[in-house]
A and B are shown apart, each in its own frame.
Chain A
């Protein structure tokens, strides 16, 4: 018999905001040490009241627009009650009754074509803290840094029918959110609950549903879905077990799912509207403002870059990172040519970062500084080699390119008399190379050229050196 698997996803995404959702503590990327980023509000002390961070609403609305959702002009917050040591107030502020976005749609491309995935809703909520189990001391410690970090939860309809579709969907929203500065979506910042059931093909009723909780890596999600699908089919076909509706967890080491204790799943969360937070009203003016700040999508950017003559391979690299697009556009706006800028970013910047064990996504250079280097090279003020040396100093020590060039005497040497004397000296000191060259070994030219360049500390104008050297060797 053939079977059909049906999957719905609940995806939590940590938002990239300056501060937490209801207090002014730094957002998700700030803290370094445990409990570094905690205040009376996010540690649940009495007397503190939640104050809404407007930036969270704007990011949630932007995410909703990207996923073609209806933006609900009136939305409210609710309290979800449960006891756990990582939840300082013993309730989580979330949206149950009136979420911010509903009824979206995303196209997902897989090897079997395009599938339409309906988004049921997107709601805003606060994250919980983290428990750290110290087995050595046999204790559990609580870290509240993550408490009240803003999240959106994206709930889909049960529209997926394979692990491939799920992974393609997650990769798509990940790229969108990274590009839209909604979330960096790094490890752990995107977590999924997978609802899955299996039924014989053509059956009208859905099969018994299992929910696999809290997975963050795409590989685990894919493996878990494949395992669950096989487990359900075995149960249906060979009666290996009786399927029950339950919550399960994925064990990455053992490569299988396990049922969670009932106690953890049968809670009554006693939701009710939070009286401390006024309803969020998104009026036309605010919605227009959010729309106007929405980033152009990676696809639109790619189209623009193609028109500027940038190669497909380079377009892929640049549009993979929103900040590379921003850098490219800013440097071009300062008067550099797009293809030049792309070469400097992809060849030079990436090379320097790679040597330091970093990636292009770690690039941190102002458009002004990169433009200044490119312009100095373009105008012949410095050689390209010197430009690269300055770029290294800028990336590693954030120096000022022009001042650095001046301090280190890096201006291109174009004085023909000086260069002529250097060339003469090099010819005199490299008799063997000169003889080799004259006997037809073209390669020997470069070794004499190199000697000239060394003498000029790398700053000699290559064209002038080449011309003089060729002339003198002929003569």
Chain B
């Protein structure tokens, strides 16, 4: 029997509606299938279902203002309804969902998995990742979807990738990102401590390191993410496909009312913030500066990886989320993304397992998955 896979609703499967969680695309059925999905169905996987996302994948996990606070795909993988799930890691949402539901999620190095067929928001950082119950299952699916695709200009040239989850971890070194650890609540800290203990039991050295660039990395990433998202969502204008307002008498009203009626408060906030960051008066101090900061963050992360094999950090502040008012959404996501932004802005790989996050240098997925594997069931 073929393995059952869930596909999140920002990834296209021909003939299956792809709403991206938005009223804007409530009637949108794509004409083609994402490259990652094609590679799975060609390798014995069957698309079991599409899973819900917060609008365009921008929210904390799912639609956090309506009470779905775990993340559809992560819940289904945890419940065993599907064997694995693909999700777009745009701003950390799947990593948070995996931590809350205690399943494994791998966000590979940027450019590893084709973004052809992803309802794109932030092209420079978004990447398809894999949810599964174990590191082994994640590696198995990831190996099938990874590899060069000419249809994506940012796709790396490697034809295929081998992921080894059984690297010898004895003698490796893992750094706990102190500044991120300090922000977590007691329960989350306990999870990190437990994970660190499990690693030490396998002969891994685990020690704290300063991670003082977390806030600047997050601010820069939110600027880049919002700007790119603002740009990519501008195509939803009511002219060609998707929602069109019935309330218009000229082209400006068509644009304004369509977008006002179909985007939620968080999406609108992201668009406004992103538009501001790209505006003439702000471009140099916001967008351009964030691009420069991205390079600095890469250097700072690489400096840590010169001495450590991985960084251990929370994926989110606490072990559950409370529903909140939509007007708070933007700042909630902003605050929470401090944990996920370093891997997002650098395009470095990250693995969530046992409710915690491991970040690695480019192409170090095998080490992250191996470290995750030795802690499984402990």
* Interface positions of A (Cβ within 8 A of B): 40, 43-52, 79, 81, 83, 85, 88-91, 142, 268, 270-278
Q: A270-B278, A272-B278 are in contact. Are A46 and B235 (CB under 8 A)?
A: yes
A43, A50, A268, A277 pick with most chain B CB within 10 angstroms: A268
The answer to whether the Cβ of B1 comes within 8 Å of any Cβ in the partner chain is: no
Say whether B119 faces chain A, with CB atoms less than 8 Å apart. yes
B12 within 8 A of A: yes
Binds A, one of B30-38, B62-70, B326-334: B30-38
Interface of A is mostly: loop
List of A residues within 8 angstroms of B231 by Cβ: 79, 81, 91, 270, 272
Bound complex: CA A85 to CA B255 (Å): 10
CB distance from B13 to the nearest CB of A (A): 10
Determine the distance from Cα of A276 to Cα of B155 in the docked complex, in whole angstroms. Answer: 10
Contacts of B240 in A (CB 8 A): 43-45, 88, 142
User: What 1/0 flags go to B201-236 for Cβ under 8 Å of A?
Assistant: 000000000000000000000000001100100110
**Contacts known (A272-B287, A275-B228); A47 close to B278, Cβ less than 8 A:** no
Among candidates B28, B115, B251, B283, residue contacting A85 with C-beta atoms closer than 8 Å: B251
Quick one: closest B residue to A277, CB to CB?
Answer: B153
Please measure, in the bound complex, the distance between the C-alpha atom of A273 and the C-alpha atom of B283, giving whole angstroms: 11
Q: Does B280 belong to the interface (CB within 8 Å)?
A: yes
Q: Which B residue sits closest to A51, measured CB to CB?
A: B153
In contact, A272 and B30 (Cβ under 8 angstroms): no
- The yes or no answer to B123 lying at the interface (CB within 8 A) is yes
Shortest distance from the beta carbon of A80 to any chain B beta carbon, whole Å: 10
Contacts of A278 in B (CB 8 A): 153-154
Which A residues touch B18, using CB under 8 A?
Answer: 46-47
Count how many pairs of residues, one from A and one from B, have CB atoms less than 8 Å apart in the complex: 94
| Interface residue from A46, A85, A142 paired with B120 (Cβ < 8 Å) | A46
Known contacts A272-B231, A275-B123, A276-B123, A48 near B154 by CB under 8 Å: no
Subset of 8 A-B contacts with CB under 8 Å: A47-B116, A47-B117, A50-B153, A51-B150, A81-B234, A85-B239, A89-B234, A270-B275
Closest to A270 in B: B278
Asked if B237 CB lies within 8 Å of chain A CBs, one says yes
Interface pair A45/B251, CB less than 8 Å apart: no
Residue B161, interface by CB 8 Å: no
Encoded as 1 (CB less than 8 Å from any A CB) or 0, chain B from 272 to 312 comes to: 00010011100100010001000000000000000000000
Task: Report the nearest A residue to B287, measured CB to CB.
Answer: A272
Contacts of A88 in B (CB 8 A): 235, 239-240
| Chain B, Cβ-Cβ closest to A142 | B239
Cβ contact within 8 Å between B280 and A47: no
Q: Among the listed A48, A83, A272, which residue makes an inter-chain contact with B283, where contact means beta carbons less than 8 Å apart?
A: A272
> Which A residues are CB-close (under 8 A) to B352?
none
Task: Please give, as numbers and ranges, the residues of chain B lying within 8 Å of A50 by CB-CB distance.
Answer: 153
- 6 closest residue pairs by CB, A with B: A275-B124, A90-B234, A270-B278, A275-B123, A46-B119, A44-B235
The interface residues of chain A lying within 8 Å CB-to-CB of B248 are none
Q: Which of B234, B241, B279, B287 contacts A91 (CB 8 A)?
A: B234
> Is B12's CB under 8 angstroms from A46's CB?
yes
| CB-defined contacts of B278 to chain A, threshold 8 Å | 81, 270-272
> Given A85-B251, A275-B123, A49 and B235 touching (CB < 8 A)?
no
CA distance A88 to B235 in the complex (A): 6
Q: How far is the CB of A82 from chain B (nearest CB, A)?
A: 9
**Which residues on B are within 8 Å of A, measured CB to CB?**
12, 18, 20, 25, 28, 30-32, 34, 115-120, 122-124, 150-154, 227-228, 231, 234-235, 237, 239-241, 251, 255, 275, 278-280, 283, 287, 291
Task: Please give, as numbers and ranges, the residues of chain A lying within 8 Å of B291 by CB-CB distance.
Answer: 273
Cα separation A473 to B30 with both chains bound (whole Å): 87
Question: How far, in angstroms, from A46 to B126 measured CA to CA in the complex?
Answer: 14
Residues on A with beta carbons closer than 8 Å to the beta carbon of B283: 270-272
- Point out the residues of chain A lying under 8 angstroms from B116, CB to CB: 47-49
Chain A, Cβ-Cβ closest to B278: A270
A302–chain B nearest beta-carbon distance, Å: 43
Given contacts A272-B227, A276-B123, whether A47 and B234 have CB atoms under 8 Å apart is: no
B247 to chain A, nearest CB (A): 18
Q: For A274, what are the chain B residues with a Cβ–Cβ distance below 8 Å?
A: 123
5 further contact pairs, Cβ within 8 A, besides A46-B18, A81-B234, A83-B237: A45-B240, A49-B116, A88-B240, A268-B279, A270-B280
Give CA–CA (A81, B31) in the complex, Å.
26
Q: A147 → chain B, closest Cβ, in Å?
A: 11
- Give min CB distance, B370 to chain A, whole Å: 31
Identify the closest chain A residue to B281 (Cβ).
A268
| Minimum Cβ distance to chain A for residue B144 (Å) | 20
Closest chain B residue, CB of each to CB of A97? B288
- State how many angstroms separate the Cβ of B90 from the closest Cβ of chain A: 13
Tell me, rounded to whole Å, the shortest Cβ–Cβ distance linking B256 to chain A.
10
In the complex the two chains form, is A270's CB within 8 Å of B151's CB?
A: no
> A318 → chain B, closest Cβ, in Å?
41
Counting chain B CB atoms within 10 Å of each CB, the highest count among A47, A48, A51, A89 belongs to A47
Are A89 and B123 in contact (CB-based, < 8 A)? no
Is A49's CB under 8 angstroms from B279's CB?
Answer: no
User: CB-CB < 8 A to A91: which residues of B?
Assistant: 231, 234
Tell me the complex Cα distance, A475–B147, Å: 93
- Chain B residue nearest to A88 (CB atoms) is B240
The CA-CA distance from A292 to B234 in the complex, in Å, is 42
Q: How far is the CA of A49 from the CA of B126 in the complex (A)?
A: 13
Cα A271 to Cα B278 in complex, Å, equals: 7
Choose one: A43, A45, A51, A268; the contact of B280 (CB below 8 Å). A268
**Which of B124, B153, B234 contacts A49, CB < 8 Å?**
B153
Contact B151–A49 (Cβ < 8 Å): yes
Q: In the complex, which residue of chain B has the Cβ closest to the Cβ of A144?
A: B240
B150 — which chain A residues lie within 8 A by C-beta? 51
CA–CA, A356 to B227, complex, Å?
57
- Tell me, in angstroms, the Cα distance from A275 to B345 when the chains sit together: 13
Residues of B with C-beta under 8 A to A277: 153
List chain B residues, Cβ under 8 A from A43.
240
Contact present for B118 and A47 (CB under 8 Å): yes
Q: Which residues of A contact B119 (CB under 8 A)?
A: 46-47
Nearest to A39 among chain B residues (CB) is B31
Residue of B nearest to A22 (CB): B153
Tell me how far the C-beta of A40 lies from the nearest C-beta in chain B, rounded to whole angstroms. 6
CA distance A89 to B234 in the complex (A): 7
Query: With A268-B280, A272-B283, A275-B123 in contact, is A83–B153 under 8 Å at CB?
Result: no
Task: Point out the residues of chain A lying under 8 angstroms from B32, CB to CB.
Answer: 40, 47
Please name all residues of chain B whose beta carbon is closer than 8 Å to the beta carbon of A52 when the two chains form the complex: 153
**Contact check: which of A51, A89, A270, A276 meets B235 at CB < 8 Å?**
A89
Closest A residue by C-beta to B116? A49
Q: How far is the CB of B197 from chain A (nearest CB, A)?
A: 40
User: Which residue in chain B gives the minimum CB-CB distance to A83?
Assistant: B255
Bound CA span A137–B231, Å: 33
